[in-house]
Amino acid sequence: MSAVLLDHITKTYDNGKVLAVDDVSLQVAEGELFGLIGPDGAGKTSLFRILTTLLLPDKGQAAVRGYDCAKDYKIIRSKIGYMPGKFSLYQDLTVKENLDFFATLFGSSITENYALIKDIYEQIKPFNDRRAGKLSGGMKQKLALCCALIHKPEVLFLDEPTTGVDVVSRKEFWEMLRQLKQQGITIVVSTPYMDEAMLCERIALIQGGKIMSVDTPAAIMAQFPVKLYAIKADNIYRLLTALRTNPTVESSYAFGEYIHITLHENATIAGLQQQMQREGHTNVAAKPIQPGVEDSFIRLMNQA
Partner 1 sequence: MKQFLAFIRKEFFHVFRDKRTLLIMFGLPVVQIVLFGFALTSEVKDITLTIVDHARDVNTRQLIGKIKSSSYFIVSEAPLDDNGIADAFKKGRSRCALIFPANFGSDLQHGGKAQLQIITDGSDPNTAKTVINYISAITTAYQQEVSPAARLPYMIVPETRMLYNEEGNGSLNFIPGVMALVLMIVCTALTSVSVVREKELGTMEILLVSPFQPLMVLIAKAIPYLILSLANFILILVLAVFVLNVGIKGSILLLFLESMLFIITCLSLGLLISNTTNSQQTALLLSMMGMMIPTMIFTGFMFPLENMPLIFRYISNLIPSRWYFLVVKAVMLKGLGFEYVWKETLVLLGMTTAALAVALRNFKTRLS
Partner 2 sequence: MEEKVIICKDLTKRFGEFYAVNKISFEVNKGEIFGFLGANGAGKTTAMRILCGLSHPSSGEATVAGFNVYKQQESIKKNIGYMSQKFSLYENLTVLENIEFFGGVYGVPAAEIKKRTTQLLEQLGLTAEAKKFVGALPLGWKQKLAFSVAIFHRPKIVFLDEPTGGVDPVTRRQFWDMIYAAAAAGITIFVTTHYMDEAEYCNRVTIMVDGKVEALDTPANLKTQFSADNMDQVFYQLARRAQRSGD
Q: Of 139 and 269, which has the nearer Cβ to partner 2?
A: 139
Of 197, 155, 161, residue with least CA distance to 176: 161
Choosing from 115, 167, 219, 222, the residue that interacts with partner 2 (CB under 8 A) is: 167
Ranges within 97-156 binding partner 2 (CB under 8 A): 136-139
CA-based Rg of the chain, rounded to a whole angstrom? 23
68 contact choice in partner 2, partner 1, none (CB below 5 to 8 Å, kind-dependent): none
Cα distance between residue 19 and residue 85, in whole Å: 20
**Cα-Cα-Cα-Cα dihedral of 195, 200, 203, 205, to 10°?**
-20
Cα distance between residue 46 and residue 208, in whole Å: 12
Residue 159 beta carbon to partner 1: minimum distance, rounded to whole angstroms: 9
Q: Of 56 and 218, which has the nearer Cβ to partner 1?
A: 56
Q: Of 98 and 191, which has the nearer Cβ to partner 2?
A: 191
For the chain, the straight-line distance linking the first and the last C-alpha, in angstroms and rounded, comes to 32
93 contact choice in partner 1, partner 2, none (CB below 5 to 8 Å, kind-dependent): partner 1
Task: Please calculate the CA angle 185-83-219 and round it to the nearest 5 degrees.
Answer: 55
Q: Of 32 and 160, which has the nearer Cβ to partner 2?
A: 160
Query: In what helix (H) or strand (E) does residue 298 lie, and over which residues does it extend?
Result: helix 293-303
For 35, phi then psi, to 5°, come to -115, 135
Q: Of 148 and 212, which has the nearer Cβ to partner 1?
A: 148
102 contact choice in partner 2, partner 1, none (CB below 5 to 8 Å, kind-dependent): partner 1
What letter does residue 108 receive in the DSSP assignment? -
Q: Of 151 and 260, which has the nearer Cβ to partner 2?
A: 260
168 contact choice in partner 2, partner 1, none (CB below 5 to 8 Å, kind-dependent): partner 2
DSSP per position, 178-215: HHHHHTT-EEEEEES-GGGGGGSSEEEEEETTEEEEEE
Residues near partner 1 (CB under 8 A): 49, 52-56, 73-74, 77-78, 80, 82, 84-93, 97, 100-102, 104-107, 147-148
Give the range of 67-75, 106-114, 192-200, 267-275 binding partner 2 by CB under 8 A: 192-200
CB-facing half-sphere around the CA of 116: CA atoms within 13 A = 24
138 contact choice in partner 1, partner 2, none (CB below 5 to 8 Å, kind-dependent): partner 2
Q: Of 120 and 300, which has the nearer Cβ to partner 1?
A: 120
**Under 8 Å between Cβ of 9 and 196:** no
Give the range of 19-27, 90-98, 149-157, 160-168 binding partner 2 by CB under 8 A: 160-168
126 contact choice in partner 2, partner 1, none (CB below 5 to 8 Å, kind-dependent): none
Other CB atoms within 10 A of residue 150 CB: 26
268 contact choice in partner 2, partner 1, none (CB below 5 to 8 Å, kind-dependent): none
Q: Widest CA span of the chain, in angstroms?
A: 72
Residue 51 beta carbon to partner 1: minimum distance, rounded to whole angstroms: 10
